[in-house]
A and B are shown apart, each in its own frame.
Chain A
Amino acid sequence: MALAPEPRPGPAGRARQRAFVPMAAPALALLTVFVLGPACYAVWISLQQTAGYGESRFVGLRNYARLLGDPVFHTALLNTLKLLVIGGGVTFVTGFALTMVLREMRGRLVARNILFFPNIVSALVPAIVAGFLFNPDGLVNTVLRSVFGVSDPPKWLAVDNTFTLILIVAIWAAVGYYTTIIMAAVDRIPAYFYEDCALLGATSWQRLRHVTIPLSWDVFSVCALLWTISSIKVFELVLVFGGGTAGTPPSSTWTVALYSYAATYGGSGSPPELGMTAASALVSLLIAAAVVLLLRRALDREAVRF
């Protein structure tokens, strides 16, 4: 990694110092106005009871207490944690396995790019297509009936199954991205390590265990970090999964992001609760922060230099 130039006195250095503020200020102002400021203001909103119009009342931590007692929030939290832990684990292991397989495949870039493709498509699209594939008379059941002779195909979109399907689709969409990142890291490992392995007669498992994994370790923690951040944002996939419902989908499929949205924009006749939106969103942020800190501890090893 190239380091920033050393401090250098003299006219060039001073000019650079003077230019620092005008160059960085606009971006910093935007960051403050649209990200950091709003995040702080969300803390304030989370302490209020307000519908956005009329009067608002300061209620202290009562919104958070309500979240603790709300079974719908428990489900949403559990679903988000499933995405974070199960989804993350499966995505990562699959991504790593794919890297190992793709490395020695002909057409690896073509395969990787196609697997990557879901990442540049709105999550609304797989959510809607899933409705076509899995609805009672959808494509999957048509195939099961006509090709495999299954007379009573499963009810894929039954409320109990929906979240599992969402989880699978989320993994399918993310795998290509993580494969790409892991592949970039593994490709940087110099070939002579593997040549040494060959000379020493190492098995493929030993190569994996003693060369590939330790030498790409720092990218694993990057992946964990990225997944944590993105898994708490899962929203549109849930919102229209299976083809869309008027208003919000059944609450057993909600993630915390959807809970936050629905508390104000649920439109089920109950007044919007801005305080609950802010409080639940902040809980998801706190969880992500806690997971990131834990992961840093767990994954923090001395990076192997090469």
Chain B
Amino acid sequence: MRPTLRLTGLAPVRMAVWAVVAADVALLAWVLITSLKSTREVFDHPWRLPMPPTPDNYLTALEVGNFGRAAVNSAVVGVLSSLLAVAVAAPAAYALTRTTNRAGRPLTLLFALGTGVPTQVILLPIFLMLSSLELTSTLTGLTLAYVGTAMPFTVFLLTGFFRSLPGELEEAAALDGAGVWRTFLRIVVPVARPGLVTVFVLQLIVSWNETMLALVLMQDDEKETLPVALIGFAQQQQYTGTNWGGMFAGVCVVVLPMVVLFAWVGRRVTEGMTLGMGK
């Protein structure tokens, strides 16, 4: 409580905030409930709970929408690329924050600048490059693309994080004769674990939801990720009339893992996203 900060006359505003919060929760609940209804029920009884709840929509999403395959692909590419991104970015960010090399500062800036390059600029060159290596429509190619495009963001976040760690332990380890790599792996990584996990989770969220690269690189249904499957499913229904139950089942497959992740490590995510901003 900060009684000294109290503004007056905020009760209606507070109500409005809670109304928006409640609407957000209601919307999520709605999507979840609708995904368990039959197509008829969706429109005939929009307010009712599903009676009885049916898994049909999920079966449709799995069979027609290819969501099962896509979920596996998304999980594999997401976890693998995020792990690799952190494994590559962490030593680099550490070296950049602790180096006495004159190149350290401009290189750090280069990574920061990279965060400003939008996907649409690098989309074609990445496609042409992976295509010449015959890596388009492969999970390897997409994973590589995600690891590469993750570099600016992960290195940038981790430099902010390493800068906030005190250097004394490392100094002590260096005086004891431990090499730089040994110091990094044995001393720095354990201390920096919360930061590394945060960056991993953030990157996992980014790659799970990434659409533009996936849409262009993955032309094969067998290799598509969830956002591509969701778009494909939405577009199919242009002709058949929208099957909202099936659609919302697909939406749930995309959203629910993120809900679980957020419920589990949400504080870390929000803190991580504000890490190294300001001071």
Interface positions of A (Cβ within 8 A of B): 1-2, 4-8, 12-13, 15-20, 23-28, 30-31, 33-39, 41-42, 45, 52, 97-98, 100-105, 110-125, 128-129, 131-132, 137, 139, 142, 177, 180-181, 184-185, 188, 191, 194-195, 197-198, 204, 207, 216, 218-219, 222, 229, 232-233, 235-236, 239-240, 243-247, 256-257, 260-261, 264-265, 274, 277-278, 280-282, 284-285, 288-289, 292
Asked if B8 and A244 sit within 8 Å, CB to CB, the answer is no
Residue in contact with B121 in the complex, picked from A7, A39, A188, A265, CB distance below 8 Å:
A39
Asked if A239 and B231 sit within 8 Å, CB to CB, the answer is yes
| Given A37-B125, A235-B212, A101 and B17 contact (CB-CB distance below 8 Å) | yes
- We find that the number of chain B residues with CB closer than 8 angstroms to chain A is 110
Which 9 A-B pairs rank lowest in CB-CB distance, beginning with the nearest? A34-B148, A244-B234, A27-B92, A38-B125, A19-B180, A23-B95, A38-B122, A12-B174, A122-B209
Asked if B124 and A274 sit within 8 Å, CB to CB, the answer is yes
Interfacial chain B residues near A274, Cβ < 8 Å: 124
A101 to B179 CA separation, bound complex (whole angstroms): 51
A142 to B44 CA separation, bound complex (whole angstroms): 11
Interfacial chain A residues near B258, Cβ < 8 Å: 120-121
Asked if B148 and A128 sit within 8 Å, CB to CB, the answer is no
| Given A20-B95, A236-B227, A245 and B238 contact (CB-CB distance below 8 Å) | yes
Asked if A115 and B180 sit within 8 Å, CB to CB, the answer is no
Per-residue contact bits, chain B 107-124, to A (CB 8 Å; 1 contact, 0 not): 100110011111111111
CB distance from A202 to the nearest CB of B (A): 10
Q: Can you sample 20 A-B contacts with CB below 8 Å?
A: A2-B166, A4-B99, A5-B167, A12-B174, A23-B180, A23-B184, A24-B92, A30-B88, A31-B151, A31-B155, A38-B124, A97-B13, A101-B13, A121-B209, A185-B277, A240-B230, A243-B234, A244-B237, A265-B215, A277-B124
Interfacial chain B residues near A236, Cβ < 8 Å: 211-212, 227, 231
Asked if A285 and B118 sit within 8 Å, CB to CB, the answer is yes
Interface SS majority for chain A = helix
Asked if A125 and B123 sit within 8 Å, CB to CB, the answer is no
Asked if A102 and B100 sit within 8 Å, CB to CB, the answer is no
| Given A31-B152, A218-B279, A121 and B255 contact (CB-CB distance below 8 Å) | yes
Interfacial chain B residues near A257, Cβ < 8 Å: 118-120, 212
Asked if B269 and A23 sit within 8 Å, CB to CB, the answer is no
Asked if A246 and B98 sit within 8 Å, CB to CB, the answer is no
Closest to A183 in B: B274
CB distance from B117 to the nearest CB of A (A): 5
Closest to B119 in A: A233
